Amino acid sequence: MENTDRSYEKDLEKMSPFEIKNKLIELAKGDTKKSTATFLNAGRGNPNWISTYPREAFFLLGQFAMAECRKVSDNKVGIAGIPSSVGIAERFEEFLSKHKHDNGVELLRGTRDYIVGKYGVDPDKLVHEWAEGVIGDQYPTPDRILKSVELVVRDYLRQEMGGGDDMSTYDLFATEGGTAGMCYAFDSLQENKLLKRGDKIALMVPIFTPYIEIPELARFGFDVVNINASKVQHDGYHTWQYPMSEIDKLRDPTVKMVCLVNPSNPPSYTLAPEVLDRMVDIVKNDNPGLMIITDDVYGTFVRDFKSLMYRLPYNTMCVYSFSKYFGATGWRLAVTAINQKNIFDEKIAKLSDAEKKELQQRYQSLTMDVPGMKFIDRMVADSRLVALNHTAGLSTPQQIQMLLFASFSLLDDGSYKREMQSTITNRLNALWQTTGFTLLVDPLRAGYYSEIDIMVWAKKFYGDDFATYLSKNYEPLDFVLRLAKETSVVLLNGDGFDGPAWSVRASLANLNEEDYLKIGTAVRKILDSYHDAYKSQSAK
């Protein structure tokens, strides 16, 4: 087993794991051309499933909307009018009756009845918003999010993020995936003087790499404090939870913001109840000005999930994406949620006169009451450099699909969630089954990803001397490079997420269960090959 060029590996380690992935894919595919190996890419979290009923409802709604357009005018060269609101609800009911056996009709009817029945929305206005939304003939109005979409997605978040009987109102901003929500949040926090270059922020690591890389940009240059999920059991197994000593770093009032992914990425564990309680205590008693961004995209894969948006609603901005749960990464669907009573608006109100004057100049083209402009509406404006605020907002067809994803979950009896969670769990068990490693039972595990600390298993199988040899003679990145080259399996390096140096991340979303059996075998094979090299050197 030859050692690869360590200087090359050190240079490669400076890159994002998502960029390193391209090199790994190249190595893995190159090997398959020379052998009978099967290329298996468990690097990205793109699901290999889709949620069908909400999509069928979307396309059926599109048929109705097109028929409405043609009722207004229908030019034989392919030009039609735009939907009329007069009597459209009655025509929609006739359409649903005509298509009563089509997939999607039950969800459309159920969604309409849910909104009209719960919120008393005028049926004509509702159906007209849907018809125009699905064909995309108008700018998004309101630009932050369509009215009916906000009503349903609010209820969806309350149900899925552990809101329980919390009936406080959240304002939502529909964005082009969770990544856009992240970018808009960092941008507007700085533009509105809530964070300044060099300010101290905390990251709960390991974490999705953009949260690591954005603060390092010259524009932000934040002073980053890592809150490490370094807790281990007495026998050395990772729990991927946060010791109280780490959480207590947030007591420092100079820490202005903390970012977390919950459940975590890559370990894929939700915050333990005692960690949530500790954070509540810290905000209450030591750092009431702490701003929190929680990215909760994987919350639906955990039973009884509880988001910080409902434990600390005043301090928390939630970014939620529909991409993973519904198999919709290509749709780019997400929302940023902020409670109507929130710390962001309060901090803006307490800015200095000079800062307020600067913000007055920034937003005065949009409103005569700049001081009364909510932070979330400033995010919308900032997303289009203010000047193009009138064209802001997520495209209306995207919003209609998001509405249908959310209402499907609200109207479902839980079957979809149970199937999703079972699928992920079975794949996770298959991965670990063939490694020979021990996967501990943990109700806090989401399992969408699995982070494997190779050094832990090196010590458990072959002892401390071998582990020392491994770290002395190889760069941590060598493992995933060798895995790709020799077994055609692509995993990401965990240290790119600020995880343990010798950890690797496997996505449990994008391959079939039998593939994870092969990946587990491949991981063990590479570890054993290092041990073979160690034995050969020791024999000499």
Buried b (16+ CB within 10 A) or exposed e, 329-353: bebbbbbbbbbeebbbbebbeebee
Name the domain count of the chain.
3
The whole-number pLDDT of residue 34 equals: 52
Residue 245 lies in a domain: yes
Tell me: pLDDT of 333 over 50: yes
Residue 291, domain member (yes or no)? yes
Of 7-11, 208-212, 352-356, where does the model show the most confidence? 352-356
CB atoms within 10 A of CB 414: 8
**Is the pLDDT reported for residue 235 higher than 80?**
no
Instruction: Say if residue 131 is in the same domain as residue 265.
Output: no
In a domain, 101, yes or no: yes
The least confident of 114-128, 231-245, 381-395, 461-475 is 231-245
Q: Which of 331, 374, 370, 309 is nearest to 173 (CA)?
A: 374
pLDDT band at 324 (very low <50, low <70, confident <90, very high): very high
pLDDT at 18 (0 to 100) = 80
For the stretch 410-422, pLDDT in tens is: 999 999 999 999 9
Residue 423 has pLDDT above 60, yes or no: yes
361 contact partners, CB below 8 Å, separation of at least 6: none
Instruction: Specify the DSSP class assigned to residue 106.
Output: H
| Summary mean pLDDT of the chain | 94
Average pLDDT over residues 138-157: 98
pLDDT tens digit string along 135-146?
999 999 999 999
The predicted structure's pLDDT at residue 4? 55
Residues in the chain: 540
Residue 382 lies in a domain: no
Residue 355 belongs to some domain of the structure: no
Question: Which is more confidently placed, 441 or 352?
Answer: 352
pLDDT confidence tier of residue 39, bands split at 50, 70 and 90: confident
Residues spanned by the domain of 257:
149-339
Residues 455 and 522 in one domain: yes
Judge contact between 301 and 424, C-beta under 8 A. yes
Residue 400 domain flag: no
Take residue 330 and report the two structure tokens written for it.
């290509």
Same domain, 32 and 167: no
pLDDT in tens, 365-375: 999 999 999 99
At residue 48, does pLDDT exceed 90? yes
Token reading at 191: 């533009």
pLDDT on residue 1: 42
Contacts 24+ apart (CB under 8 A), 127-130: 127/88, 127/89, 127/92, 128/83, 128/84, 128/85, 128/88, 130/61, 130/65, 130/400, 130/403
Q: pLDDT at position 36, please?
A: 47
pLDDT, residue 43, reads 86
Asked if omega into 371 is within 30° of 0 (cis), the reply is: no
Q: What is the mean pLDDT of residues 153-160?
A: 98
Same domain? For 38 and 93 the reply is: no
pLDDT value at position 2?
A: 46
Whether the predicted pLDDT of 30 surpasses 80: no
- Is 334 within a domain? yes
- Predicted confidence (pLDDT) at residue 32 exceeds the cutoff of 70: no
pLDDT in tens, 472-492: 999 999 999 999 999 999 999
What CATH number does the domain containing 80 carry? 1.10.20.110
The whole-number average pLDDT for the span 104-111 is 98
Across residues 222-234, what is the average pLDDT? 92
Please indicate, yes or no, whether residues 85 and 157 belong to a single structural domain of this protein: no
Cα–Cα distance measured from residue 149 to residue 314, given in angstroms and rounded to the nearest whole number? 23
Tokens, residue 333: 């669907």
pTM over 0.85: yes
With bands split at pLDDT 50, 70 and 90, how would you rate the model's confidence at 57?
A: very high
Residue 150 confidence (pLDDT): 98
Out of 339, 372, 392, pick the residue that ends a domain.
Answer: 339
178 lies in the same domain as 251: yes
Do the beta carbons of residue 401 and residue 152 sit within 8 Å?
Answer: no
Please indicate, yes or no, if residue 358 is contained in any of the structural domains: no
Task: Give the pLDDT of residue 44.
Answer: 84
Query: Looking at 280, 313, 339, which one is the last position of a domain?
Result: 339
The enclosing domain of 187 has a CATH number of 3.40.640.10
CATH number of residue 20's parent domain: 3.90.1150.10
pLDDT for residue 37: 60
Q: Is 295 left (phi over 0), alpha (psi -120 to 50) or beta?
A: beta
Q: Are residues 85 and 212 located together in one domain of the fold?
A: no
Average pLDDT over residues 86-108: 97
